[in-house]
Amino acid sequence: MYDFTVDSIQDMIEFFEWNRHMEGKKDRNVLYFAVCQWSLDGVWKSLEMIQNRPCWNWDAVRSHILTWFWFHSDEVYQIKQALSISVADQPIVVARIINIEGSRQQFERKLKW
């Protein structure tokens, strides 16, 4: 099971600098990624470039994101509007996917210590 959320709208350079810092943490259950063109197709294209977690079920991830777009159409529109009026040089949408089962297992392992 996976969860998809929109985190923020920010400048592309800021995101890449922040993401470089996050890479050191290596939490394999959380993935932040940038979407330049805010649409379902734009999200798919962004995911194609980052599918570096082979243990994830990418069909389930895409299905969850499709469901999110379906049930959050008002939010999708608001994000598009916010992107169009953003003052950032190169505005992007920062989104997050969480592998819920993997996070639960990681948490349980930490509790056993």
Which of the two residues, 18 and 92, has the higher pLDDT score? Answer: 92
Full residue range of the structural domain in which residue 95 is found: 2-112
Name the residue with tokens 């649409």. 39
Taking only the tens place, the pLDDT of each residue in 62-78 is 999 999 999 999 999 99
Distance of CA 74 to the CA centre of its chain: 19
Say whether pLDDT at 26 is over 70.
Answer: no
Beta bridge partner(s), residue 95: 6, 33
The whole-number average pLDDT for the span 43-54 is 81
Q: What is the pTM of this model?
A: 0.83
Residue pLDDT, tens place only, 72-101? 999 999 999 999 998 888 999 999 999 888
**What integer best gives the mean pLDDT of the chain?**
86
Tell me the residue ranges of DSSP E strands in 1-113.
2-11, 30-35, 91-99
Distance CA 26, CA 78 (A): 32
What would the mean pLDDT of 97-109 be, rounded to a whole number? 79
**How many structural domains comprise the chain?**
1
97 torsion bin: left (phi>0), alpha (psi -120 to 50), beta (else): beta
